[in-house]
Amino acid sequence: MANTANQSELGKTSAYCSQYAPELLFPIPRQEKRDELNITADTLPFQGLDIWTAYELSWLNAKGKPVVRIAEFAFSADSEFLIESKSFKLYLNSFNGTRFDTEQDVVKTLEQDLTQACGEAVAVDIRTVMHDETLLGKLPGSNIDELDIAVDSYKVDISLLNSDQSSVVSETLNSHLLKSNCLVTSQPDWGSIVIRYEGPQINHEGLLKYIVSFREHDEFHEQCVERVFTDIMKNCRPEKLTVYARYVRRGGLDINPYRSNFEDEFDISRTSRQ
């Protein structure tokens, strides 16, 4: 659990710490926001992961030489806690002036600290910067951003979602117009979202308006994706549904939540915004 000192630092200017400090991690209970969506921990309507990518991971080897890597972290949606992003950045920065004998020691340390903080095993994959020089991917499905819609509200509105119960389809849709605000700092979080489903055809214009309605909404990335998932299930009643988002990085970290009631793998290719 987080301590009072940690909590007092959220949303405030924080001193840069370059020596290993796992106490900087600030866990936040997932259930607090799930209560708003009538989601209980023992009957989650989805499975999924929160994939974090860290582009600024560095430490010192045994001889004091800096090592730079890109890291990917996979947090289970079943975990009791999520990690507040600023605290995660500060924690990773604390590796910058810390010596480790091997890269495996770094991975082991990250896995142990993050698992303890969130309450569920966290998978850590570290790769070299050269290895990451790959072609950018693109979101699957049809993009709906060019639909000519009129928008007069930027507060989340579930009533914008509707479907044609007489027309059953299987389709994948995406949009780059997702934007919400950090629950702690109120800073903008920009993202792209993918919605894959089977069931009554969702009204595309209404869906796009709904996505845009998050524009002034204050909520963490993971919570936004779970809200989209539960709202679509409630108003459109698809048999199968996957919702995932690729958020633009801030402070060297991007967060990519994935929720589904029928599949457990998705394309994690970087997009042009990342």
Torsion angle (degrees, nearest 10) of CA 250, 256, 257, 262: 170
Measured between alpha carbons, how far is 240 from 261 in angstroms, rounded to an integer?
6
Catalytic residue among 50, 113, 182, 231: 182
- Residue pair 53/70 in contact by the 8 Å Cβ criterion: yes
Q: Which of 50, 113, 189, 231 is catalytic?
A: 189
128-132 long-range contacts (CB < 8 A, ≥24 apart) are 128/69, 128/70, 129/68, 129/69, 129/70, 132/70
The tokens describing 211, both together, are: 């996505």
Angle at 50 between CA 48 and CA 56, to 5 degrees: 160
Euclidean distance between CA atoms 184 and 4, whole angstroms = 15
How far is the C-alpha of 33 from the C-alpha of 221, rounded, in Å?
Answer: 12
Q: Is 182 a catalytic residue?
A: yes
What are all long-range contacts of 165-169, with beta carbons under 8 Å and residues at least 24 apart? Answer: 165/200, 165/237, 166/200, 167/200, 167/201, 168/198, 168/199, 168/200, 168/201, 169/198, 169/199, 169/200, 169/201
| 236 assigned to active site | no
- Residues noted as catalytic: 182, 189
